[in-house]
Chain A
């Protein structure tokens, strides 16, 4: 199973590092990543494999949300099924 992490906010040093550190810590394997910076805004989409997570998925969602709160970024983690069911028949 995979999840999609999106990060949107003002650009600063080390955003990707912070998110990927948490992924490593909780054993979420990064399978794809795309990011862009438009003016001062940073947008990243990261797809991670969550099969070997060391905590329940909901706790992982909380951890990333807390990172977003502390850094002033909008960090959302959603199960891939949401996107698959909405955009694929």
Chain B
């Protein structure tokens, strides 16, 4: 017999503390869709995605109902599109983006990721053509997400790509200026990108992956927050223990859903991503967890230490709960998607500089941050270079998803709706890094990359 206390605890997590499965993401290889003819290739992409993921949404809905655990998003990730394009032009690539978007609409999924390139060491012609097409592709589609990996601990930082990213982000913001620059919310620049991440905008299906897999991303900041509140003024060992226990329970849900989805869809189970992913909903905030630990406001001194403890305890608790762990696995700190972060940033308690420090101890990076619309391309590229350096030097994933809010200045805000939330436009240093960025070339890999 199941214990009454356990039953009530689980139900309370779902009902009051926003426990949910953030996403069930199906990874699909597109390597067999290549063709000389871009029209034919785009059709193959559409056919393959709709065929493989045809039952994804109904199966996810069924699991949601049977287990009573909400599954917020159903998504698809595909092979980085630059790998199947070969000699295509930017216009040809946009056709791919449209095919992916149509497939997403047909399937009824929330996002489709993988419109991107891996250029940590250098850019092929195909990579360049795809990257050039990103602003138009994001402006012309609704559900397509894009990511570019510009660095890795093994390869160093491709500064030519970093310089290009500033331009791409500014152009994306301009092309989607009538929708609060939403294109930028669907584009992320990475270092050490994981190939099995189920979270957007960075999800793609890596080249080392199987034909088709199921990856699951869990959520649950509200559950952790309530557990910390209940633990009261305990010491740090007990605090970490509380987070670990809670993370274990949350992850078990993810593992159950992943196993069931994989079984019912007849697709191998990939990984569970142990991330604490906030939403703009009240009670679903990572910032609030840090405040529950005893900080007056997220962003003050002590924030990085609190986040480091949280991130580590989440992993330790989660890793035993799942047979395969992967993806980003750590606490997310997207400003626009976290009610506590929004409040802290609006009040001035949380600055971009503090967020950068926080990313050294958690996944993922400077995420969903709006900066003034007149921020130059060079400043954006330099912001990316800083964040990416943290990832490369620390052998971890870091990322930048920044929105230069067209026509807006610090203190204004942009709103995207849904899970993407709303972001206060934050102050950023305007001192010019132009000469630094213009150097081009590669920043060499750090010495500790030489492990053999």
Q: Tell which of B4, B6, B67 touches A81, judged by Cβ atoms closer than 8 Å.
A: B67
The answer to whether B6 and A86 touch across the interface, beta carbons within 8 angstroms, is yes
Q: Cβ of B1: which chain A residues have Cβ within 8 Å of it?
A: 32, 47
Q: Tell which of B9, B62, B68, B252 touches A76, judged by Cβ atoms closer than 8 Å.
A: B68
Q: Cβ of A45: which chain B residues have Cβ within 8 Å of it?
A: 4, 7-8
Q: How far is the CB of A35 from chain B (nearest CB, A)?
A: 10
Q: Cβ of B4: which chain A residues have Cβ within 8 Å of it?
A: 34, 45
Q: How far is the CB of B318 from chain A (nearest CB, A)?
A: 13
Q: Cβ of B65: which chain A residues have Cβ within 8 Å of it?
A: 58, 61-62
Q: Which residue of B lies closest to A57 (CB)?
A: B66
Most central of B3, B15, B252 by chain A CB within 10 Å: B252
A-B contact count (CB 8 A): 64
Most central of A47, A58, A77 by chain B CB within 10 Å: A58
Give Cα distance in the complex from A80 to B3, angstroms. 11
Give Cα distance in the complex from A81 to B67, angstroms. 8
Q: How far is the CB of A78 from chain B (nearest CB, A)?
A: 4
The answer to whether A58 and B62 touch across the interface, beta carbons within 8 angstroms, is yes
The answer to whether B249 and A87 touch across the interface, beta carbons within 8 angstroms, is yes
Is A79 an interface residue, CB under 8 A from the partner? yes
Is B11 an interface residue, CB under 8 A from the partner? yes
Q: How far is the CB of B259 from chain A (nearest CB, A)?
A: 9
Per-residue CB proximity of A16-47 to B under 8 Å, as 1/0? Answer: 00000000000000001010000000000101
Give Cα distance in the complex from A80 to B67, angstroms. 8
The answer to whether B62 and A82 touch across the interface, beta carbons within 8 angstroms, is no
Could you say which interface size class chain A belongs to?
20 to 34
Q: Cβ of A85: which chain B residues have Cβ within 8 Å of it?
A: 252-253, 255-256
Q: Cβ of B66: which chain A residues have Cβ within 8 Å of it?
A: 57-58, 61, 78-79
The answer to whether A87 and B3 touch across the interface, beta carbons within 8 angstroms, is yes
Q: Tell which of B67, B249, B252 touches A78, judged by Cβ atoms closer than 8 Å.
A: B67
Q: Cβ of B255: which chain A residues have Cβ within 8 Å of it?
A: 85
Q: Tell which of A47, A61, A82 touches B10, judged by Cβ atoms closer than 8 Å.
A: A82
The answer to whether B6 and A87 touch across the interface, beta carbons within 8 angstroms, is yes
Q: How far is the CB of A73 from chain B (nearest CB, A)?
A: 13
Q: How far is the CB of A39 from chain B (nearest CB, A)?
A: 17
Contact A83 B10, CB 8 Å, known A47-B1, A76-B68:
yes
Give Cα distance in the complex from A59 to B2, angstroms. 24
Is B69 an interface residue, CB under 8 A from the partner? yes
The answer to whether B2 and A81 touch across the interface, beta carbons within 8 angstroms, is no
Give Cα distance in the complex from A47 to B89, angstroms. 61
Q: Which of B26-42 contact A (CB under 8 A)?
A: none
Is A48 an interface residue, CB under 8 A from the partner? no
The answer to whether B2 and A47 touch across the interface, beta carbons within 8 angstroms, is yes
Q: Which residue of A lies closest to B256 (CB)?
A: A85
Give Cα distance in the complex from A47 to B3, angstroms. 11
Q: Which residue of B lies closest to A59 (CB)?
A: B65
Is A12 an interface residue, CB under 8 A from the partner? no
- Offer 21 A-B interface pairs, CB within 8 angstroms, sorted by A: A4-B2, A6-B7, A6-B11, A32-B1, A45-B4, A58-B62, A58-B65, A61-B68, A62-B65, A77-B68, A78-B10, A78-B67, A79-B67, A81-B256, A82-B10, A82-B67, A83-B6, A83-B10, A85-B253, A86-B252, A87-B2
Chain B residues near A (Cβ < 8 Å)? 1-4, 6-11, 15, 62, 65-69, 249, 252-253, 255-256
Q: List 15 extra interface pairs beyond A32-B1, A45-B7, CB under 8 A.
A: A34-B4, A45-B4, A45-B8, A57-B66, A58-B65, A58-B66, A61-B68, A62-B65, A76-B11, A78-B69, A83-B2, A85-B255, A86-B10, A86-B249, A86-B256
